[in-house]
């Protein structure tokens, strides 16, 4: 009874099965099917070549949640957030969450605020920007003034989502360049950029490049001055993708939020320091009338009548449950404990890196647990932060080096984003690895210099 070993799938070793052993189609749909286990193994194995998410110190996005959250996630991954009539409790939990945020961000009347979830801060920023634009247009048209040349004022170090917003929605982007004297948008020279066509000013609360806060109070005061002189009443959108979930816990006395009457709207990424897996964002307006009704659609084909303001229609609902879980699980004290520990790890790393010799910090991790550093100028050194980044990558750490934005593009920095899950223990290992790689690069450097001298003397 000769039995074809290959055809008997229950005894056939996984990597010797048809499909698994043969060539895999990458760019065309395979003609036939394969076993689910085989397909799983192929996809699983290919993804092993991705970096380790926990060692990815380039991203702001959560890479660790508690097992209970994982359980909740698997229970809810089939829920579509848009089906608010079918999943009324997911919709209710979405409302709990943005109301919690409105309160956390000191909306004068959280019940009179309005907000929603999004796929991330990018979408949240688009919605914030669209509300600014539409309000400006409606005001201009009501006054019989042209409304065809809107502009938005922001730092040159904004996250790319603001350049996208301006590009996609036909708004002129007015960038205030950062410099060594003005490392962030701080209200300096703002009057040179604001005019009657300015729909708003973006304050980045946690600059992506460096982790620094833009001083929203100073920006607000500069706009007060501008209003006194010109009458332009320009409001602020705070891009708190990262900082809006740090400051309320770590710097509770810092004023940056709805306590400032000029702050019309604030966004954050639930999946950054909101401590939820990707992708989830939030945007909140201080008062419902700051979100023009003409932007809100009433959708009836899901049953009921649901107001929606979003770029996408379908979107996973599970992250909303995870955010509500995190709010309940951590509470104010828990968020503070987590964020303070994350800050402590960032301070430790910044201090150690500053003390190594070749580096100079661009900023201490004093705002959000993010900091960047530069290489001190040194004659004869022939390695760069890009080389260091490569060497660290070999150890599994992903720590990017990149040029600063316009006017400072000659300057290369390297940045670490510390997140919940990068423990003090791991941080110590990272410092050991950075020291070892600097020593390697220096030794390599000396060897090359010695070679060069030898060639020269020859």
Ligand X SMILES: *Cc1c(COP(=O)(O)O)cnc(C)c1O
Instruction: Say if strands 370-375 and 359-361 run parallel, antiparallel, or are unpaired.
Output: antiparallel
The answer to whether 336 and 249 have CB atoms below 8 angstroms apart is yes
Who contacts 118 (Cβ-Cβ below 8 Å, separation ≥6)?
Answer: 124, 127, 267, 280, 281, 282, 283, 310, 311
* Nearest CB to ligand X, comparing residues 87 and 165: 165
For residue 255, give every residue at least 6 positions away whose Cβ sits within 8 Å of its Cβ, in sequence order, or none. 216, 217
Regarding 319 and contact with ligand X (CB under 6 A), the answer is no
CA atoms within 13 A on the CB side of 166: 21
Closer to ligand X at the Cβ: 121 or 363? Answer: 121
Question: Three-class SS of residue 418?
Answer: coil
Map the footprint of ligand X across residues 146-165, applying CB under 6 A. Answer: 159, 161
Kindly report the CA angle at 343 between 341 and 347, in degrees rounded to 5?
120
Binding piece for ligand X, criterion CB under 6 A, among 16-24, 46-54, 115-123, 350-358 = 115-123
Residue 15: other Cβ atoms inside 10 A:
10
User: Binding of ligand X at residue 121 (CB under 6 A)?
Assistant: yes
Q: Which phi-psi region, left, alpha or beta, contains residue 187 (left: φ > 0; alpha: ψ -120 to 50)?
A: left
The residue range among 121-129, 248-256, 374-382, 447-455 that interacts with ligand X, by the rule CB under 6 A, is 121-129
Q: Of residues 155, 220, 242, 319, which one binds ligand X by CB under 6 A?
A: 242
What is the C-alpha separation between 115 and 153, in angstroms, rounded? Answer: 23
Residue with Cβ nearer ligand X (159 or 420)? 159
CB of 124 to ligand X, least distance (A): 7
The pairing of beta strand 281-285 with beta strand 114-118: antiparallel
Specify the stretch interacting with ligand X by CB under 6 A; choose among 28-36, 114-122, 164-172, 228-236: 114-122
CA 266 – CA 284 distance, rounded (Å)? 6
Site for ligand X in 123-142 (CB under 6 A): 125
From 98-106, 201-209, 296-304, 343-351, give the range in contact with ligand X by CB under 6 A: 201-209
Cβ closer to ligand X: 128 or 150? 128
Q: Which of 62, 90, 208, 437 binds ligand X (CB under 6 A)?
A: 208
Distance of closest approach, residue 281 Cβ to ligand X, in angstroms: 5
C-beta separation of 211 from 370 below 8 A: yes
Nearer to ligand X, 82 or 125 (CB): 125
Phi-psi region at 121: left, alpha or beta (left = phi > 0; alpha = psi -120 to 50): alpha
241 binds ligand X, rule: CB under 6 A: yes
- Residue 269 CB, nearest distance to ligand X (Å)? 4
Give the H/E segment covering residue 236: strand 236-239
Integer Cα distance of 343 and 358 in angstroms: 23
- Residue (57 or 204) nearer to ligand X, CB: 204
Binding-site residue total for ligand X (CB under 6 A)?
15
Q: Among all residues, whose Cβ is closest to ligand X?
A: 120
Show the site string, 256-285: x = touches ligand X by CB under 6 A, - = not: -------------x-----------x----
- Using CB under 6 A as the criterion, which residues of the chain lie in contact with ligand X when the complex forms? 60, 120-122, 125, 159, 161, 204, 206, 208, 239, 241-242, 269, 281
């Amino acid at each position: 009874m000769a039995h074809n070993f290959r055809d008997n799938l229950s005894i056939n070793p996984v990597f010797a099965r048809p499909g698994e052993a043969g060539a895999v189609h990458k760019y065309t749909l395979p003609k036939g099917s394969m076993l689910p286990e085989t397909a799983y193994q192929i996809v699983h194995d290919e993804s092993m070549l991705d970096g380790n998410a926990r060692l990815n110190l380039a991203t702001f996005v959560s890479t660790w949640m508690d097992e209970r959250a994982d359980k909740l996630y698997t229970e809810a991954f089939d829920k579509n957030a848009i089906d608010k009539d079918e999943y009324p409790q997911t919709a209710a939990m979405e409302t709990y969450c943005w109301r919690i945020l409105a309160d956390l961000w000191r909306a004068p009347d959280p019940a009179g605020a309005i907000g929603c979830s999004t796929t991330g801060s990018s979408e949240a920023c688009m919605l914030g920007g669209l509300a600014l634009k539409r309000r400006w247009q409606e005001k201009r048209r009501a006054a019989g003034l042209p409304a065809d040349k809107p502009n938005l004022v922001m730092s040159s170090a904004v996250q790319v989502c603001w350049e996208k917003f301006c590009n996609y929605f036909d708004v002129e982007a007015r960038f205030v360049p950062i410099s060594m004297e003005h490392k962030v948008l701080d209200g300096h020279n703002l009057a040179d950029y604001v005019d009657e066509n300015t729909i708003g000013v973006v304050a980045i609360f946690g600059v992506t490049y460096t982790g620094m806060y833009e001083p929203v109070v100073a920006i607000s005061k500069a706009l007060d001055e501008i209003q006194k002189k010109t009458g332009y009443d320009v409001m602020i959108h705070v891009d708190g993708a990262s900082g809006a979930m740090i400051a309320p816990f770590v710097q509770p006395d810092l004023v940056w939020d709805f306590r400032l009457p000029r702050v019309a709207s604030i966004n954050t990424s639930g999946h950054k320091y909101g401590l939820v897996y990707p992708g989830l964002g939030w945007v909140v307006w201080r008062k419902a009338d700051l979100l023009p009704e003409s932007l809100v659609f009433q959708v009836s084909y899901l049953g009921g009548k649901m107001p929606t303001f979003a770029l996408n229609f379908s979107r996973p609902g599970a992250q909303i449950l995870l955010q509500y879980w995190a709010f309940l699980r951590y509470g104010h004290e828990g968020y503070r404990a987590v964020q303070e520990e994350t800050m402590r790890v960032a301070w430790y790393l910044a201090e150690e890196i500053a003390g190594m010799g070749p580096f100079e910090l661009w900023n201490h991790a004093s705002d959000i647990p993010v900091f960047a550093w530069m290489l001190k100028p040194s004659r004869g050194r022939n390695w760069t932060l890009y080389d260091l980044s490569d060497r660290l990558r070999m150890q599994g750490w992903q720590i990017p080096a990149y040029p600063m934005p316009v006017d400072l593009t000659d300057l290369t920095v390297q940045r670490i984003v510390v997140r919940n899950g990068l423990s003090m223990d791991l941080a110590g290992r990272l410092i050991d690895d950075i020291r070892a790689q600097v020593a390697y690069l220096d030794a390599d450097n000396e060897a090359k210099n010695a070679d060069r001298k030898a060639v020269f003397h020859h």
